Amino acid sequence: MKIIKLLTLACLTIFCLTTFAQKPKWEKANFQVSGNCDMCKTKIEKAATGIEGVKTARWNVVNGKMKVKFKPAITNTEKIQQIIASIGYDTEKNKATDEAYNNLHHCCKYEREQ
């Protein structure tokens, strides 16, 4: 009888621990990033995924939409957009510096809004 109670208690404990364990919470976001080509895509995605807390980053060459999945406890879309702007690509919230934009390869120089 004691063995059955101990096994039941052990099973209940394991169940509770696995049910209430903290799972990483990921957030998804979309925003615009200016660019032109596959070289831009590689640079933009590499910059975003290089940020701690970013799991995935996909930039669409055709429509300029960036999709990111990240841990909001570690980073946020503002920081992601700042990093992307720092390498020369304008985003919804951040404009790249003229110096960063001018350092882009000639095929990556998109038409900038004034």
Q: What is the pLDDT of residue 7?
A: 54
Among residues 56, 53, 42, 52, the alpha carbon closest in space to that of 87 is found at: 42
Range of the domain at 33: 27-108
Residue 39 placed within a domain? yes
Q: Is residue 11 part of a domain?
A: no
Predicted confidence pLDDT, tens digits, the chain (114 residues): 666 655 555 555 565 555 555 666 999 999 999 999 999 999 999 999 999 999 999 999 999 999 999 999 999 999 999 999 999 999 999 999 999 999 999 999 999 987
Q: Cα(4)–Cα(88) distance, rounded to whole angstroms? A: 66
pTM of the model: 0.78
Radius of gyration, CA atoms only, the chain: 22
110: left (phi over 0), alpha (psi -120 to 50) or beta: beta
The CATH number for 33's domain is: 3.30.70.100
Query: Residue 75 contacts by C-beta under 8 Å, 6 or more apart in sequence?
Result: 51, 52, 53, 54
pLDDT at 38: 97
Domain count, the chain: 1
pLDDT at position 113, please? 82
